[in-house]
Structure 1
Amino acid sequence: MVNDELQTYSLTEVFGANVFNDAAMRERLPKPAYKALKKTIDEGTPLDRDIAEIVANAMKDWAIDKGATHYTHWFQPMTGITAEKHDSFISPTSDGKVIMEFSGKELIKGESDASSFPSGGLRATFEARGYTAWDCTSPAFVKDNTLYIPTVFCSYNGEVLDKKTPLLRSMEALSKQALRILRLLGNTTVKKVITTVGAEQEYFLIDKKLHDQRKDLIYTGRTLFGAMPPKGQEMDDHYYGAFKERISAFMKELDRELWKLGVSAKTKHNEVAPAQHELAPIFNTANIATDHNQLIMDTLKKVAQRHGLVCLLHEKPFAGLNGSGKHNNWSLSTDDGQNLLDPGRTPHENAQFLIFLCAVIKAVDEYADLLRCAAANAGNDHRLGAHEAPPAIISIFLGEQLTDILEQIENNGGAKSLKQAAPLKIGVTTLPVLPKDATDRNRTSPFAFTGNKFEFRMVPSSASIAGPIFVLNTIVAEELCQIADRLEKAEDLNAEIHAVLREIVKNHKRIIFNGNNYSEEWIEEAKRRGLPNIRSTVEAIKALIDEKNIRVFEKHKVLNRTELYSRYEILLESYIKTINIEALTMIEMTKRDIIPAVIGYITKLADSINTVKATGVNADTSVQAELLQEVSSLLAELKKNLAALEKSTSEAADFSGDTYKKACMYRDDVFVRMNELRAVADKLETLVDSKMWPFPTYGDLLFNV
């Protein structure tokens, strides 16, 4: 699509044009069917089969009008990406022709091969049947001439095999417990509390021709070799810089494609590292936000290809530069539009806000291991704590105002004063006096309060946001449940609220830290406070099968013991396979690309020396000789490290014991050997003739977009 075409549309007309949203339902459905479907969406009531037939027929007609010929049940298996099987609308007729049909049964239920997706042992290979079920709370949409129907995915026996189901369950659990609190506080009109999320997406864009010359990027999504160029991100000139023309054209088409799908892409800017960018949508309910983030990642990749680019979603595509995360802005809203995490003008007097705030504080402290697990994958191990992202230690930033209120509650039993921020005077008479926020922001915090929401900044850029959000929903639901249990038994409600708040602050204030999370002093301070420092994905995954955590998931009917153990196995296997693929890629690139290139350069140096000497001129060839010696020595070291990596990879792959021990072998042995091999290869890159180096360098990749 050319730029001129991108300019000639009305945003209000194009937004949601390919979504079977409320406006489309109102237009296409009879009033009784519309009301019944809305009641199911809003209140969770079962959908009648006859209504499903009406909805299916209307949805089919709408999709066909949009050019659709097929439909698919679109689901989110444990691979972390989406899955889809396409069926056409055609149904043969007796005269040899076809008609376009789509039944309520086909809308509500689909079938897929459950044994071909990760199940962590829940399904044997011969137990193939799995089901997809329509999630009517997330609107269907048309993409690539196909009607996409958001669904959940389960096995023949009902075990959860996807990321969407526990998210929906956790949303119901949190709503149930939050309503108990609101009823105690006298709010009888709210029917539902909704988890809302805005997920900021960071990504890299590189030239496709250069990308396709690197096996590591093709197979793993990150560079396994690469020396830093003379310039990286140290000049701070890329962050918020003007878009290059090629990037601007990409972003214009990206916006249009996302807006057509109802994704409210709002903010775009250049990120810190060269070739790095960010996209942020407007908040939405958690399940729709999850679907939208999957669409964002898919659309990023597809639109990039059309512009001769490749989108990298890996957490650390380039060593030595900032990696990519996905900041999850999480909040709670009522069905009548009230934000339960909005402090208001007098937060020290706002009992409702303080109860929900303290529930979050207690949840994050007691279940820090689960939150760390929710943000864990092999790519994120490169990023967390690397002075570009939050550290692996979970803490909460509240800012001066809220911290002061909590200190008053602990010391005095209640807060009687409020720290106010003075207006911001810039010192230029022609500029207005700016209202100043109550607290600054802390970009080093993994879990920061930012005005009326919490920003969970640890989430990996390539991951589904469903996992982090269902964990957060569940643990907050548990703390609200405990608070409600106490308040419902209280003879003096106000006195008990003060007692509960004071107790939570006293027992869980250790999780609050407003300082520099990057500092060495914080690591020591966190240790003194007893906060866990879970450094690796392998270690983090164990939280899923901790008895404390199993109890909270089972209590709120989000996941059962069997489903948690299956996820434990799936995540370990994913880590193992990721590191194994990376190791095998390094071995292949070293053997088939780097070693031949280095030998070629050594031969060139030797030929140079011999050619000069053959002239009979007594010329100085010491430079060539020294370089020949250095490169030859490094080549020998490279070969030695290659052999060590091959040995450790083979041993780890052949290990048939406990999955956790196998994962530890990949972390503690294979990954260490990979880094040793890379160190030598990267040094060789700085010595070998650039024309002879076998693949594009960091300088080529980062500055040729």
Structure 2
Amino acid sequence: MTNVPELFGSMVFNDTVMKERLPKDVYKKLKKTMREGTAIDADVAAVVATAMKDWAISKGATHYTHWFQPMTGITAEKHDSFITPTDDGHVMMEFSGKELIKGEPDASSFPSGGLRATFEARGYTAWDPTSYAFVKDGSLYIPTAFCSYTGQILDKKTPLLRSMDAISTQACRILKLFGKDVKRVTTTVGPEQEYFLIDREDYAKRKDLIFTGRTLFGAMPPKGQEMDDHYFGALRPRVAAFMQELDEELWKLGILSKTKHNEVAPCQHEMAPVFTTTNIATDHNQLTMEVMRTVAQKHGFTCLLHEKPFEGVNGSGKHNNWSISTDRGENLLEPGKNPSENTQFILFLTAVIKAVDEYQDLLRISVASAGNDHRLGANEAPPAIISMFIGDELQAILDSIESGEDYTDVYKTKMDLGAAVLPAIPKDTTDRNRTSPFAFTGNKFEFRSLGSAVNIACANVMLNTAVAEELRQFADELEGAEDFEKALMALVKREIKAHKRIIFNGNGYDDSWVEEAEKRGLLNFKSAADAFPHYVDQKNLDLFAKHNVYTSAEIYSRMETQLEEYNKILHIEAMTMSDMVREEITPACIAFENELAGTVNAKKAAGVTGGMEAGLLGKVSELTEELYTKSAALDEAVAAVPTDDNEKAAHYYHDVVISAMDEVRAPADKLEGLVGKKFWPFPTYSDILFYV
């Protein structure tokens, strides 16, 4: 049996290791940097580098890498060995403070959105001491930020760290008004991760899964998820073995893997960690997805992280459980036993409500992707319209503040389960609404719109910065107030009235909500193509510049990068679809037609006319002709994509190319149900989703 406490963090240069291996003064200076965000000096870095290298070698490492998160959304790494030549022809193992602090990977092939020219391809990585280094696969991994030769940011980590500084600064101002001397406020996140496991042999036989991560063709099997028998069901032995090894590998890396279970769709599963600081949670989630893929291969699986791998069954998301805590361990979104009397909580809650309303476009952008377009609003995920759920109790409190009437307590009722042996269970007045994109769940907000493959940094940059701005406005107003309590309640009343439109506690799947949201003036960006251009709305440029999170050029670069990625993904999908029709499906149909024709001719020669074979041959022939025609139309549509403007191209892909792909898929999926199984060129949904 695994000794989990001993295993946990065993491959991490964590606080315990630092205490053991660093001189006391160096340890204190490093901890101060980690705790307060202060800069680290070169002398301290040199001592840390030597200790880090010696520890890593003791764990089997021979190399080190500056591990960073470029705008691709995944991680990147370049490995260098510790070896340094000696005069006698041997080598010694060295690692300097300079090598720890800064690296110089070539930036030429990473997305930049126009931030760098070819002759300025060099990039720099900078050590992030707030995220622990770790050893994996024989290398010391050092979490780093990544910037261009000119100093502009090219990664996901840097703006996240800046946004965390921004919300800390403004939250500390607010807390000072409540008489609290807090040096640092940190946002925390626990990202739940959904994923699919399919047999690797099936994966290897499908070009669409290999090239795009999702199936472009596939008829629904006789059974899907309608029986609800997979959700929380008993784990298949192969899956249980995978999950056990996944936990062990994640625990070694200090990742707080807590919950595992079967999800709604066949082959779909979920892992949920314990929350930690947003920066570390982001690093851990990127690492979790990587480890999932690696461990899956060892068990004969492929791990699919696409938002919608299979049409007609549940897609995969990532729930971003977000909260705010002080360096003293106080959760600022904890209502307490009497939330109506907790004015500090009410003020922070109001800031979040105002932030989500005023920057609903940024939250929508943060979850936009080609994959997530298939999922949002599809009765498996929140709608594309951003709204908030706060529950009955908080709704009643806000209503009383707005109206000026006394608050009537919403008592927590207990559910009687009708059996003497079972206890009465308290009913939570803040229980989450699963159709809400942004739901209050007790002492945190659960942002439920994220796609499963996304880097969570973007959503948390938007959240942190938007809330920081509202807290800044509140602090500016309240710091000069003669009567703080009176001014606070007046502020809260005003802002609740102004932004209550964003609160919706009803069914987000109901068609009436779309009409109601429009009446309220809420945004409805139905696709990523609609959302991305709003990155550069003036209010958003002003927000990020004010809090030193992005420059204007950095925002434009992200808009261009994401539009370009969207276009490339859809181009690859369209071309893959054409290839599969031309090289696999059409030849299979012709082979089946030939066999049918032989049977029809043999029956005619025997004096038997008609028969089902002739009818089937006619249907298959007609659908194959239709498939050929629709595939040619898809090729023509792709050839006509605008090439001079990424935004125009994105709308064209969404409006024209995707429609053409749907036209191709329709006859192909019908043919799958008619063509003999021995002829069909790749595994079907029945094969993939119901493996033994």
TM-score, normalized by length of structure 2? 0.99
Q: Distance in 2 between matches of 1:387 and 1:44?
A: 42
Q: Check conservation: 1:348, 1:417, Cα contact below 8 A.
A: no
Q: Distance in 2 between matches of 1:472 and 1:441?
A: 19
What code does the residue aligned with 1:163 have?
A: K
* SS of match in other structure, 1:642: helix
Q: Deviations over 1:630-654 (max 9, x none)?
A: 11111111111011000011111xx
Q: Distance in 1 between matches of 2:668 and 2:630?
A: 10
Q: Distance in 1 between matches of 2:271 and 2:423?
A: 30
Q: Check conservation: 1:327, 1:459, Cα contact below 8 A.
A: yes
Deviating more after overlay: 270-279 vs 38-47: 38-47
Query: Is residue 430 of structure 1 aligned with residue 417 of structure 2?
Result: no
Q: Aligned to 2:24, which of 31, 34, 43?
A: 31
What code does the residue aligned with 1:201 have?
A: Q
Q: Deviations over 1:256-285 (max 9, x none)?
A: 000000001000000000000000000000
Equivalent residue for 2:611? Answer: 622
Equivalent residue for 2:203? Answer: 211
Equivalent residue for 1:663? Answer: 650
Shift in Å, 1:415: 5.2
Equivalent residue for 1:272? Answer: 264
Q: Deviations over 1:270-311 (max 9, x none)?
A: 000000000000000000000000010000000000000000
Query: Is residue 121 of structure 1 aligned with residue 108 of structure 2?
Result: no
Query: Is residue 646 of structure 1 aligned with residue 635 of structure 2?
Result: yes
Shift in Å, 1:620: 4.7
Equivalent residue for 1:5? Answer: none
Q: Check conservation: 1:406, 1:505, Cα contact below 8 A.
A: yes
Query: Is residue 318 of structure 1 aligned with residue 310 of structure 2?
Result: yes
What code does the residue aligned with 1:688 have?
A: V
What code does the residue aligned with 1:640 have?
A: T
Q: Check conservation: 1:330, 1:454, Cα contact below 8 A.
A: yes
Q: Check conservation: 2:19, 2:27, Cα contact below 8 A.
A: yes
Q: Distance in 2 between matches of 1:411 and 1:364?
A: 22
Equivalent residue for 1:107? Answer: 100
Shift in Å, 1:615: 2.0
Query: Is residue 593 of structure 1 aligned with residue 580 of structure 2?
Result: no
Q: Distance in 1 between matches of 2:615 and 2:116?
A: 61
Query: Is residue 444 of structure 1 aligned with residue 435 of structure 2?
Result: yes
Equivalent residue for 2:399? Answer: 407
Q: Aligned to 1:379, which of 349, 359, 371?
A: 371
Q: Deviations over 1:340-393 (max 9, x none)?
A: 000000000000000000100000001101100000000000000001100000
Equivalent residue for 2:456? Answer: 465
Query: Is residue 244 of structure 1 aligned with residue 217 of structure 2?
Result: no
What code does the residue aligned with 2:358 have?
A: E
Equivalent residue for 2:86? Answer: 93
Shift in Å, 1:114: 1.4
What code does the residue aligned with 1:185 have?
A: F
Q: Distance in 2 between matches of 1:439 and 1:549?
A: 31
What does 1:211-230 align with in structure 2 at a 5 Å threshold?
Answer: 211-230=203-222
Q: Check conservation: 1:107, 1:134, Cα contact below 8 A.
A: yes
Q: Aligned to 2:223, which of 231, 247, 256?
A: 231
Question: Cα RMSD (Å) of the superposition?
Answer: 0.9
Q: Aligned to 2:353, which of 361, 366, 384?
A: 361
Equivalent residue for 2:76? Answer: 83
Q: Distance in 2 between matches of 1:416 and 1:432?
A: 30
Q: Distance in 2 between matches of 1:701 and 1:431?
A: 41
Shift in Å, 1:656: 2.7
* SS of match in other structure, 1:120: coil
Q: Distance in 2 between matches of 1:365 and 1:241?
A: 38
What code does the residue aligned with 1:460 have?
A: G
Shift in CA distance, 638/290, structure 1 to aligned 2, threshold 3 Å: same
Query: Is residue 567 of structure 1 aligned with residue 558 of structure 2?
Result: yes
Q: Check conservation: 1:408, 1:416, Cα contact below 8 A.
A: yes
Equivalent residue for 2:46? Answer: 53
What code does the residue aligned with 1:650 have?
A: A
* SS of match in other structure, 1:112: coil
Q: Distance in 2 between matches of 1:564 and 1:634?
A: 47
Q: Deviations over 1:81-109 (max 9, x none)?
A: 00000000000101111000000000000
Q: Distance in 1 between matches of 2:343 and 2:449?
A: 29
Equivalent residue for 1:690? Answer: 677
Q: Check conservation: 2:323, 2:331, Cα contact below 8 A.
A: yes
Q: Deviations over 1:167-226 (max 9, x none)?
A: 0000000000001110011112x2111100000000000000010000000000000000
Q: Check conservation: 2:103, 2:125, Cα contact below 8 A.
A: yes
Equivalent residue for 1:558? Answer: 549
Q: Check conservation: 2:365, 2:535, Cα contact below 8 A.
A: yes
Equivalent residue for 2:492? Answer: 501
What does 1:133-148 align with in structure 2 at a 5 Å threshold?
Answer: 133-148=126-141
Q: Check conservation: 1:116, 1:125, Cα contact below 8 A.
A: no
Shift in Å, 1:659: 1.4
Equivalent residue for 1:522? Answer: 513
Runs of 5+ consecutive residues of structure 2 not aligned to the other structure:
none
Q: Distance in 2 between matches of 1:670 and 1:125?
A: 32
Equivalent residue for 1:578? Answer: 569
Q: Check conservation: 1:233, 1:321, Cα contact below 8 A.
A: yes
Q: Check conservation: 1:349, 1:415, Cα contact below 8 A.
A: no
Q: Distance in 2 between matches of 1:666 and 1:125?
A: 28
Q: Aligned to 2:67, which of 70, 74, 77?
A: 74
* SS of match in other structure, 1:263: coil
Deviating more after overlay: 436-445 vs 324-333: 436-445
Shift in Å, 1:450: 0.2
* SS of match in other structure, 1:200: strand
Q: Distance in 2 between matches of 1:178 and 1:147?
A: 35
Q: Check conservation: 2:376, 2:382, Cα contact below 8 A.
A: yes
* SS of match in other structure, 1:458: strand
Q: Aligned to 1:538, which of 516, 529, 546?
A: 529
What code does the residue aligned with 2:672 have?
A: E
Q: Check conservation: 2:431, 2:442, Cα contact below 8 A.
A: no
Runs of 5+ consecutive residues of structure 1 not aligned to the other structure:
1-7
Q: Distance in 1 between matches of 2:479 and 2:64?
A: 49
Q: Check conservation: 1:74, 1:84, Cα contact below 8 A.
A: yes
Shift in Å, 1:420: 1.2
